[in-house]
Amino acid sequence: MSVNVNQVLVRTSNGNEQRLGEYNGQVLLIVNVASHCGFTKQYKGLQALENTYGPKGFKVLGFPCNDFGGQEPGTLSEIQKFCSSTYGASFTLFEKIHAKGKTTEPYTTLNQTEPAGDVQWNFEKFLVSKEGDVINRFKSDVEPDNDELKAAIEKALLD
């Protein structure tokens, strides 16, 4: 099933609603993030991806999530401060969401991506085309510097 995120409404860091379609024309990597996880060091790599590919039309969108082992207990301002001071991460963070069970957007929509089902852990990644179509889903253990992930980003930027 093809999944498109253009009509998905999410809440920005200041509580406003925003449609993901506002990012049309850019390739997106949507990631559920957590500050107290074994994968938390990926913040640095995610920022490196945005630094490398951002000028070509790429953005990382982070959605803090406390669904997995209570590994993101902080407020959004605490999370932003931690990401910035610890990992130099400045990519866009949204309000906290639920990625499993009774999900909230964007995960109600993203979890329909094949293989369909709830996100399994923190730092699962969804690659979205310039047109808003989800084109790939990467599990948590796929590091931001993974060759397959980078090749998929590069291909999406050329399409």
Catalytic residue among 27, 37, 93, 127: 37
Q: Is the dihedral of CA 89, 96, 99, 121 positive or negative?
A: positive
The answer to whether residue 83 is catalytic is no
Angle, helix 147-158 to helix 42-53, in steps of 10 degrees? 30
Q: Which among 141, 92, 135, 106 has a CA at the least distance from the CA of 120?
A: 141
Q: Is the dihedral of CA 29, 132, 5, 147 positive or negative?
A: negative
CB 10 within 8 A of CB 106: yes
Show which residues are catalytic: 37
